[in-house]
Amino acid sequence: MPGLVIKPRSRIFHGHDWVYSSEVKKAFGDPQPGDVISLKDFKDRPLGSAIYNPSSQIVARRFSRRKQELDHEFFIRRLKLAFSLRDRFSVDPKLCRLAWSESDGLPGLIVDCYGKHLVVQTLTLAMDQRIDLIAEALKELLAPETIILRNDSPMRKAEGLEPENRILHGSDPGPVPLITGGLQFEVALLSGQKTGLYLDQLDAYKRVARLAAGKRVLDCFSNQGGFGLACAKAGAAAVTCVDISADAVAAVKSNALRNDVEINAVEANAFDFLKSCEEHYDLIILDPPSFTRSKKTLGDAMRGYKEIHLRALKLLDPDGYLSTFSCSHHVTRELFLSNICAAAVDAKRTLRLVESHAQREDHPVLPTIPETEYLKGFTFQLLPGR
- Residue 63 contacts ligand SAH per CB under 6 A: no
380 counts as binding ligand SAH under rule CB under 6 A: no
Q: Count how many residues are written for the chain.
A: 386
Interface with ligand SAH (CB under 6 A), residue from 12, 249, 270, 351: 270
How many residues sit close enough to ligand SAH to count as binding (CB under 6 A)? 20
Q: Is 226 in the site for ligand SAH (CB under 6 A)?
A: yes
Does 243 interact with ligand SAH (rule: CB under 6 A)?
yes
Closest CA to 54 of 30, 87, 80: 30
Cβ proximity to ligand SAH: between 124 and 222 the closer is 222
Q: Which of 231, 379, 363, 361 is nearest to 316 (CA)?
A: 379
With CB under 6 A as the contact rule, the residue among 121, 223, 324, 381 that binds ligand SAH is: 223
DSSP 290: P
Cβ atoms of 319 and 358 closer than 8 Å: no
Nearer residue to ligand SAH within complex by CB, 227 or 281: 227
Give the separation between CA 67 and CA 29, rounded to whole angstroms.
16
Q: Cβ of residue 124: shortest distance to ligand SAH, in angstroms?
A: 24
195 binds ligand SAH per the rule CB under 6 A:
no
- Residue 328 makes contact with ligand SAH by CB under 6 A: no
- Say whether 336 sits in a helix, a strand or coil: helix
Q: With CB under 6 A as the contact rule, which of the stretches 37-45, 95-103, 229-237, 243-251 interacts with ligand SAH?
A: 243-251
* Segments of the chain assigned E as strands: 3-6, 18-20, 24-28, 36-40, 46-52, 58-64, 95-100, 109-114, 117-122, 146-151, 164-169, 175-180, 183-188, 216-220, 238-243, 264-267, 281-286, 316-326, 351-358, 376-382
Q: In whole angstroms, how close is the CB of 162 to ligand SAH at the nearest point?
A: 23
DSSP code per residue over 51-74 = EE-TTSSEEEEEEESS----SHHH
Applying CB under 6 A, the span of 69-77, 135-143, 224-232, 373-381 interacting with ligand SAH comes to 224-232
Q: Does 198 bind ligand SAH (CB under 6 A)?
A: yes
Q: Does 185 bind ligand SAH (CB under 6 A)?
A: no
Decide if residue 245 touches ligand SAH (CB under 6 A): yes
Q: Which residues are catalytic?
A: 327
Task: Based on the shown chain and the rule CB under 6 A, indicate whether residue 221 belongs to the binding site for ligand SAH.
Answer: yes
**Shortest Å distance, C-beta 373 to ligand SAH:** 18
Helix, strand, coil: what percent of the chain each, to 5?
Answer: 35, 30, 35
Number of H helices, E strands in the chain: 9, 20
- Work out whether 271 is an interface residue with ligand SAH (CB under 6 A): yes
64 binds ligand SAH (CB under 6 A): no
Pick from 82, 197, 67: nearest CA to 142:
82
- Residue 14, class by beta-carbon neighbours within 10 Å (0-12 exposed, 13-18 middle, 19+ buried)? exposed
Taking alpha carbons only, the member of 36, 98, 32, 30 closest to residue 61 is 36
Q: How far is CA 235 from CA 99, 104, 211, 217, 223, in A?
A: 35, 38, 10, 10, 21
- Cβ 226 to ligand SAH, closest distance in Å? 4
Phi, psi (degrees; rounded to nearest 5) at 338: -70, -30
Cβ 369 to ligand SAH shortest distance, Å: 24
CB of 56 to ligand SAH, least distance (A): 26
Give the residue, chosen from 110, 248, 310, 315, that forms a contact with ligand SAH under the rule CB under 6 A: 248
Instruction: Provide the minimum distance between the beta carbon of 94 and ligand SAH in the complex, in angstroms, as a whole number.
Output: 19
Beta carbon nearer to ligand SAH, 126 or 285:
285
Among 56, 124, 222, 379, binds ligand SAH (CB under 6 A): 222
Contacting residue, 17, 203, 287, 373, with ligand SAH by CB under 6 A: 287
CB burial of 213-238 (b: ≥16 within 10 Å; e: otherwise) equals eebbbbbbbbbbbbbbbbbbbbebeb
Encoded amino acid at 41, one letter = D
Alpha helices in 234-380 (DSSP H): 246-259, 270-276, 298-315, 333-347
Q: Spell out, one character per residue from 135 to 174, where the chain touches ligand SAH: x when CB under 6 A holds, - when not.
A: ----------------------------------------
Does 283 contact ligand SAH by CB under 6 A?
no
Q: Which residues bind ligand SAH (CB under 6 A)?
A: 193, 198, 201, 221-224, 226-227, 242-245, 248, 269-271, 287-289
